[in-house]
Amino acid sequence: MNLLREKLAKYDAPQKAKAAGIYPYFREIESDQDTEVIISGKKVLMFGSNAYLGLTNHPKVKEAAVDAIKKYGTGCAGSRFLNGTLDIHVQLEKRLAEFVGKDDAISFSTGFQVNEGVISCITGREDYIIWDELNHASIIEGIRLSFSTKLKYKHNDMESLEKQLQKCDADKIKLIVMDGVFSMEGDVANLPEIVNLAKKYKASVMVDEAHGIGIFGKQGRGTCDHFGVTKDIDLIMGTFSKSFASLGGFIAADKDTINYLRHNARTYIFSASCTPASIAAANASLDIMLSEPERVDHLWYLTRYALEGFRQMGCEIGNTSTPIIPLFIRNNDLTFLIVRELFDAGVFVNPVVSPAVASHDTLIRFSLMATHTKEQLDYAMEAIQMIFKKHHLI
């Protein structure tokens, strides 16, 4: 065995979890992505999805994807930079820019590529990137690739953010980057105060709206719209894989910024274009987002109901105020075990364990969709209450 294989062979955490019967990953879903899915022939309630508006099965979204394949084929056979730009790419980008309140936008093949490509190229060696410690992995990867000085501030801590801003040279570019809604904890960035600090220290702001669009703001325009700070945010990122029920992502900003990114973001220039079906599905989802506000209303009804219920149970759910509800377990193996027991009870949830979070912060990520019924939510919460009591968590 060569040295590389010898090193990699020592990684045996998955094998140990499998041997213990608590391995929770890569569960094969044999049905559509809905509030109820089939895994190994068994029906379970899905409370682990990011499809917050429940549009993955909407007839108009599926029809749009099929029609796009019929017209354009299954792929673009090249990058946007060369032969892979379709008219529907440009049409959707114009709509997205208007939707989030910016001049222009470009779409990438995944949301991860947006953050990785944009953040890594937009600032220079003498500049600064200031970032929240609980930002999504895609933001962190973009920061790692940047040549700028990186300064991390404590999660949603404005005093910590200001201290980091004070370390920066006044005449250099300073980019503050954070999630609008934090994907694991479900809490919301303090955008009004971040904007105030950005103005005070002449910094720019980029917000990842992956988990904010479709939930917050007028007709789901996101946390920037919700707080009324859109004009003060320099770059707004979004993904198609959540509320847009598709695959891909976008960045929206002023025309000069988008022009620069269009010709410099390597994950945009050197990646194959987002497929016709994905673009068409996202476009149809945007139509529904704008025309069916009752979906968002129902999602917020379920969210308020669930938050109140979990708090009354005595569950530790942190500072969440969104359809993303963390149920803290604070033990890796116990988190895996409870996920399995909930699955056996007919409830699919996601484990979040180290190294994704600190070992003392492990949790179950319970997420809601607009298409869930109150009855489904009641069943899941009763199962959680029973299992949490069994393990003395409540």
Residue 74 CA to residue 70 CA, distance in Å, equals 8
Neighbours of 319 (CB within 10 A): 13
Beta bridge partners of 29: 39
Longest dimension (CA), the chain: 61
88: number of CA atoms within 13 Å, CB side? 22
Give the strands of the sheet with 347-348, arranged side by side: 36-39, 42-46, 347-348
Q: Is 174 a catalytic residue?
A: no
The C-alpha atoms of residue 259 and residue 154 are separated, in whole angstroms, by 33
* Distance, CA of 214 to chain centre: 12
| Tokens 């990842």 -> residue | 208
Please state, in angstroms and rounded to a whole number, the distance separating the CA atoms of residues 134 and 272: 30
160 included as an active-site residue? no
Given the residues 211, 226, 298, 372, the one annotated as active site: 211
Catalytic residue among 138, 148, 183, 246: 183
Annotated catalytic residue: which of 89, 174, 226, 242? Answer: 242
Q: Which residues of 138-161 are buried (b: 16+ CB within 10 A; e: fewer)?
A: bbbbbbeebebbebbbebbeeebb
- The 3-class SS string of 142-189 reads HHHHCCCEEEEECCCCHHHHHHHHHCCCCCCCEEEEEECECCCCCCEC
CB 394 within 8 A of CB 314: yes
Bond before 355 cis per omega within 30 degrees: yes
The alpha carbon of 215 is separated from its chain's Cα centroid by a whole number of angstroms, namely 12
Q: Is 49 helix (H, G, I), strand (E, B) or coil?
A: coil
Alpha carbons within 13 A on the beta-carbon side of 297:
5
Question: Is 148 an active-site residue?
Answer: no
Q: Rounded CA gap, 94 and 89, in Å?
A: 9
**What are the start-end ranges of the E strands in the chain?**
36-39, 42-46, 104-108, 128-132, 149-153, 174-179, 204-208, 235-239, 249-253, 324-328, 347-348, 350-352, 363-367
Q: Which residues are catalytic?
A: 183, 211, 242
